Amino acid sequence: MNKGELIKAISTKAGASSDAEAGRCLDAFISVVKDTLKKGDKVTIAGFGTFSISKRKARTGVNPQTGAKLQIPAMKVPKFKAGSNFKKVVK
């Protein structure tokens, strides 16, 4: 399912007046999650899961084409942990 198909499905399920309205709602949700994670907080949706930030330590990697070693810097990465109800649905 791509973003367009997701918007149509949201519009249908929620009884939105238009696909454009559903699209704005989806874009707003994504924006709020990004802004919250950027501030260092997490977003928890009961029955669905938790969006959070995870820290990766700096490490040494290897370029697969040349075999040369390179330093990969420490970074923050987004993470999603599915809730137990969500896991049961896709089981």
Q: pTM above 0.85?
A: no
Whole-number pLDDT of residue 1:
95
pLDDT of residue 16: 76
Confirm whether 60 is domain-assigned.
yes
Q: Both 17 and 53 in a single domain?
A: no
Contact 19, 7 (CB under 8 A): yes
Residue 35 and residue 52 in one domain: no
Share the mean pLDDT of the chain: 94
- Judge if 1 and 35 occupy the same domain: yes
Considering only residues 14 and 81, tell me which one the structure prediction assigns the higher pLDDT: 81
Give pLDDT, residue 15: 85
Domain count, the chain: 2
Burial of 26 from C-beta contacts in 10 A (0-12 / 13-18 / 19+): middle
- Residues spanned by the domain of 56: 42-86
- pLDDT score for 80: 97
Q: Is the pLDDT of residue 14 over 90?
A: no
